A and B are shown apart, each in its own frame.
Chain A
Amino acid sequence: MTPSAPDDALALLTRLSQKPGVQSTLVLSRETGAIVRTSGLISTSSRANANGTLPTSDDTSESYGNGRKESGIQSAEDVARSVWTFVEAAGTMIRGLDGEDEAKLLRVRTKKNELVIVPDAKFLLVVIHDTPPA
């Protein structure tokens, strides 16, 4: 289903961010690293919450808000900056191996969680989620 309106795109993002285990989502601009949308991350700027895919005031969705506070929420800007530089570095590495190649999907597993990064020509989608229990 191709989203025909920004509402549809927002609905898709909201659904993604409400999936069980998903901690936060970020949509960044590929060129500048500017944050287009974010959810599940606090921001140093007050405007961030207005841009969130979820209204943070009534963030009662149980799969979403519970217990995230103590796991330490980074600010959206920090995550965006780190991820963006990481994607750039990965892009450089890939171009170094093959000049016509490019990154399609990056999965970074850490001890605490997993980052799924979907780079595209103009945007980046970042999903941070809990690793499967095991």
Chain B
Amino acid sequence: MDPAAKARKDEIAAKRAKLAELKRQRELRTQEVDASRQQAAEAAALVAPRPSRADHRKDLDSLISNLVGNRSSSTGPRDSSSPAPGRASRPTSVVSGGENVDPSTPPTQAHPPAVVEQTLSIAPLTIVYEAPADSQPETVTYNRAVQTSEPWEPQRDRSLDSDDDYGLTPSKKTPRASKRLSRRERERDEELRQNIRKEVEEELKAARQLPADDSTAITTAAQESVSARILTDEERNAEESSADYLAFIERSTKVAERELEEKFDVLKDYAVKGLEDAEDEDDGSGTTRGKKGRRVREVAQFFDERWCSKRCVSDIAFSPKFSELILASYTRNSSAPHDPDGIIQVWNMHTHNRPEYTFTSQSDILTAKFSPFHPNYIIGGCYNGQVMVWDTRDRSAARGPVQKTPLTSSGHTHPVYSLDIVGTQNANNIISCSTDGVVCSWSIGMLTQPQEYLELTTPPPAKTEDMAPTCIAFPKSDPTYFLAGTEEGTIYPCHRYDRAGAKAGVDARLSYRGHAAPIMSLDFHPTRGDIDLGDLVLSSSMDWGVRLWKSRPPAANAANSVSGAQSATALIEFVREDVVYDARWSPVKPGVFALVDGGGGVEFWDLNRDVEVPVARAVPSDRGPLKRSLNKVAWEPQEGKRTAVGGLDGVVTVFEVGAELGGLEGVRSEEWTGVKRLVGRLEGAVNGR
């Protein structure tokens, strides 16, 4: 700092000396001039007497004041009028006049700049500087920072607001030592201003020209940029084989199809069209039976030529989280040996005939469901004994399972026809059951070996120990206890763990006998109401019937263990005209269940209404010449308004049921007590028999 200050001081001193020198020279010069003037004036006084000239002047002044008005007092007019004819006529009087006007020389020198300023500050400049005023907040802060730290740069100044600029430069710089502002700097400032002016003028000009050129320019630009040309074959091939393109087509067509499927017209004007549309409400597609509340209406059918033909639906499940998603697993297509044997399609209610996802496996998939605890996982059991997990987030092209159990004797070696996911959000297990009687428990994160391994055997009074369970079912309340339906037609209660008086495995003291043919399905009542009906079990069988059972709690068995093996009988049997492949409770109505049979129909029963005949029966609309039997039925778990059925022809059909059979709004507590009363009555009848 010190050397710099010293240098500056030196500089200032030098400049002062220079200035003093200049002053002295000027004084000398003015003295000389004065001297010569006096001589000249004395000479001129002889030629022309002064008074006459003064009179002349007065006349002139009055004339001008008449002409111009108020401005007579100002020095300006007098100066401008001073080159009077009288003066011009006498060249010598210029010098003598000079003496007279001498005190007013500073004004005359000050005035020309003022006039120049007036011409400079005409319209264009002021207007221009207000044009970029949008960026004012930026420029203010910017201005100060730059001015204090570093010299200006023309490019930056361009964006400066000129009002600030001109206002600030004097106020900023004059307080400082004016000497610091060297001439060079001033010159540069001037230059900068000139530049700014020029640029601004150019911008203005451009802006003025723009409106004219604008439209044409834009259209030509658009025409140039939007070539709207059609790609050549090579370009197209290159584009279309890119992964981006494929992914885009997959995604965008899905979106577009969903959008097209949306039947509701948001722009509908009910005032105009309301009456005409009202009547086609009733004759909707599908089969409509019975009164309005019990109506069953077909709302969708899912089929895919490529993947579903010649395959059978082996299982159907609704997504617990997204009620519009329906999962269907399929068996192998024997005429297409190169396709994967097992597939799962996830259908969306809003895009018919286009699966959201397709998953594959090397073996037929016999059962599959969404994990209730993680909506992205689909868990399935295969014909070769593997349990597989698919993930809907999997983006690989093959869409194989993300995890699967090994094909070793530590797991299943026989077909897995039944599995369930039990437990809670934080601790859940996959329980799978194969036809050789092996029940395994798996953790979804670790499928390399089962956490529990249990082999079911037929209890003693039987010809063989082997047991062939076809299905298992867990009650909603107890994940350690389940029922297993067998090929011989008996249903056995089983424990996963040793408990008081009973070992893990089949409970030998009790069996539910009645069916004479393999059990096809078991379903515990979903308890969602006032009264606990969770001990009611529905079983369907190849013996053309459905039976309703009241399962005994495991603790009750321990009490009368001394009495030896017991056999419980069904509360009621619903005899049908065909093989019943599946029967499922409604998730919301306590007395309602749906069943599908070999005749290809789906029936809806309501225990509160009738135990002899179904409330409604429907058949999926034909897709082929043959009526095909239906394998599986599933309820939509949230509202219970829709059921999906599927069968041998690979078509998944979704029905919507009326308010008396499903839906949350019409559930009355009488229905629960009604079912309870019916069960009590039936129980009494069974015991009394």
Which A residues are within 8 Å of any B CB, using their own CB? 1-6, 8-10, 12-13, 15-16, 19, 21-22, 27, 29, 32-38, 43, 45, 47-48, 50-51, 76-78, 80-81, 84-85, 105, 107, 109, 116, 118, 120-123, 125, 127, 129, 131-132, 134
CA distance A109 to B354 in the complex (A): 25
- Pair A125/B240 contact, Cβ less than 8 Å: no
**B131 CB–A CB distance under 8 Å:** no
Does more than half of chain B's interface fall in helix, strand or loop, or is it mixed?
Answer: helix
Name the segment of B64-72, B253-261, B283-291, B680-688 touching the other chain. Answer: B253-261
CA distance A38 to B230 in the complex (A): 9
CA distance A21 to B265 in the complex (A): 14
CA distance A119 to B625 in the complex (A): 43
Taking A36-B236, A134-B268, A134-B277 as contacts, is the C-beta distance between A2 and B250 under 8 angstroms? yes
With both chains docked as a complex, state the minimum distance between the C-beta of B92 and any C-beta of chain A, in angstroms.
77
The residue in chain B whose Cβ has the minimal distance to the Cβ of A118 is B252
- Pair B248/A120 contact, Cβ less than 8 Å: yes
Question: How many B residues are at the interface, by size bracket?
Answer: 35 or more
Chain B CB within 10 Å, residue with most, of A5, A43, A116, A131: A116
**B231 CB–A CB distance under 8 Å:** yes
The residue in chain B whose Cβ has the minimal distance to the Cβ of A45 is B230
Chain B residues within an 8 Å CB radius of A10: 240
B393-436: contact bitstring with A at CB < 8 Å (1 yes, 0 no)?
00111010000000000000000000000000000000000000
Taking A16-B253, A81-B222 as contacts, is the C-beta distance between A34 and B260 under 8 angstroms? no
Taking A1-B355, A22-B260 as contacts, is the C-beta distance between A123 and B248 under 8 angstroms? yes
Chain A residues within an 8 Å CB radius of B237: 6
How many CB-defined contacts (below 8 Å) exist between A and B? 140
Taking A1-B358, A3-B246, A4-B397 as contacts, is the C-beta distance between A125 and B228 under 8 angstroms? no
The residue in chain B whose Cβ has the minimal distance to the Cβ of A109 is B267
With both chains docked as a complex, state the minimum distance between the C-beta of A11 and any C-beta of chain B, in angstroms.
9
Which B residues are within 8 Å of any A CB, using their own CB? 222-223, 225-233, 235-237, 239-241, 244-253, 255-257, 259-260, 263, 265, 267-269, 273, 277, 354-355, 357-358, 395-397, 399
CA distance A13 to B397 in the complex (A): 19
Chain B residues within an 8 Å CB radius of A122: 244-245, 248
Chain B residues within an 8 Å CB radius of A35: 228-231
CA distance A131 to B150 in the complex (A): 65
Chain B residues within an 8 Å CB radius of A34: 227-231, 235
Q: Which of B225, B246, B397 contacts A33 (CB 8 A)?
A: B225
The residue in chain A whose Cβ has the minimal distance to the Cβ of B222 is A85
The residue in chain A whose Cβ has the minimal distance to the Cβ of B267 is A109
With both chains docked as a complex, state the minimum distance between the C-beta of A123 and any C-beta of chain B, in angstroms.
5
- Pair B226/A85 contact, Cβ less than 8 Å: yes
- Pair A12/B253 contact, Cβ less than 8 Å: yes
CA distance A21 to B263 in the complex (A): 12
Q: Which of A29, A33, A123, A131 contacts B252 (CB 8 A)?
A: A123
Taking A19-B257, A134-B277 as contacts, is the C-beta distance between A76 and B239 under 8 angstroms? no
